[in-house]
Chains A and B, each alone.
Chain A
Amino acid sequence: MIEVKGLSRYYGDFLALDNVSIKIPPGEVVGLLGPNGAGKTTCLRILTGFLFPSSGEVLIDGVDVFSNPLESKKKIGYLPEQPPLYPELLTFDYLQFVGRLRGVEESSLKAEIERVAGLTEISDYLFSPIRTLSLGYRKRVGIAQALMGTPPFLIFDEPISGLDPRQIVEMRGLLRKIGKDHTVLISSHILTEVRHTCDRVFILHRGKLVREIAGPDLDKIEDLFLQYTST
């Protein structure tokens, strides 16, 4: 379970995240929804240990992200909005690099790369230089690196941004497939995306958590989103 308690973050005098508390149960695909500037990326970056909060606590399966970063980071796979890729490397070398740092054993590294490549449908591009891949495939490689070592929690920041309609449909299917075996947290500012992929949605607005939506309420997400983000 991911537990976020009283998370706040200032950028200078600007309060980007205001006392946000979230519990993400295991096995769910959860969306973090909000307009641009709502604090979604800041929240995800704090969860992954990329940023420190001004106050608050984040526990990943009971492990504190800030007092025990090495342990907590082993439990998280993260895809930032811009896939963090080394264009000069082959896809295989890149996944090998990430896998090794996540502690995947050398004896099972090749099999793990083939597993994530199969899951994200990039097997044909394993020995292509990353610089030659399209944005859609780069996103897939980004997701594949997040899956290396089978971390129980996956965090994706705007995974569909910049993709064309066909790639969006494919990415949606991929996220659903991944969501069967992992707890997934997706940030997005696109309502339909969140509605199609998530079991639970948290709405952020101006740094505050304004609403949690789950179950049948997900069908009314558009109205609820407008209602809670109109001010």
Chain B
Amino acid sequence: MNQSNRLTFGLSRIKWIFIKEMKSFFGLNYPPVSLGIIALLCGIVSALLPSTPGTTYEDVSRALFYLYYVFILVDGLLLSIGAFVQERRQGTLELLYTLPVTDLELVLAKFLPGALFISVFSILVTAIYVVGIAEAPYYIALSGALGLILAGLFATSVALFASSLTGSYLISLLVSAGILLLIEIGGYYGGVLPSPAKEIATHFHGLSQFAPFARGVISLKACVFFISLTIFFLFLTVRVLESRRWRLQAGGNG
């Protein structure tokens, strides 16, 4: 089989797993419900903020994007913390491992539904609230939505990584929330550290990287930051799945 055929078959397998994931998404209760709750919260804060007296559309859109940033991180986590946990619990990881699918295809197929929902969600809340209610100009809306998508993809990859480590939803949630909090809080308080730890910590501060997007600036540095971290955590997830074939403990009756 040549390289192009291999790629075509690989993409088809990603597509079939993605379709199955979408069917499972709507077959389970918690992912759509969590997405709905986050959307409701976005709606409430978005309805309250523009009515504050003395605020300009810039203030409002920036405040909204900062709030959405937090919501989108939570959303990314909620959508993907169960990705591999659920497979492990119902024994279907054993099926996926024994079907002709590579670990990379599996990880990408699990990442895509979260990425799709995050993208749709970011675009919708930006269109409805930032453009519709706060009446911010399109350039702010576009850069903000892009920032939200990139941040959401990063959170999704962190959650996917955490879910590959454990068979428990709670541990998966704690690990992924811990990683995000470490990055956010570490970056926030990084200023008190001596050099070069200070520079490293502040560079990894997600909200600081996101800030230009909320002001209508598409920062290349921030794009590279979120994309490289997303790829890094997807790579780690693949490595964890590969290592499970070595690490797995005895099971079954014999």
Contacts and interface: CB of A to CB of B under 8 A. Distances in A.
Contacts of B16: 97, 100-101
A47 B199 CA distance: 50
Contacts of A158: 252-253
Contacts of A45: 94, 248
A42 interface: yes
A14 B246 CA distance: 14
B239 interface: no
Interface residues of A, number: 49
A41 B100 contact: no
Q: Describe B's contact surface by its main secondary structure.
A: helix
A101 B254 contact: no
A37 B254 contact: yes
Interface string A89-119: 1000100011011110000000000000000
Contacts of B19: 97
> Which range holds the interface residue count of chain B?
20 to 34
Contact of A73 (B93, B98, B248, B254): B98
A189 B19 CA distance: 38
27 contacts: A11-B249, A14-B250, A37-B254, A39-B254, A40-B252, A40-B253, A41-B250, A41-B252, A49-B98, A52-B245, A69-B102, A70-B102, A78-B95, A80-B91, A81-B253, A83-B91, A84-B94, A85-B90, A86-B20, A86-B27, A98-B95, A98-B99, A101-B13, A101-B17, A157-B252, A187-B254, A204-B254
Interface of A: 11, 14, 16, 34-42, 45, 48-52, 69-71, 73-74, 76, 78, 80-89, 93, 97-98, 100-103, 145, 157-158, 161, 187, 189, 204
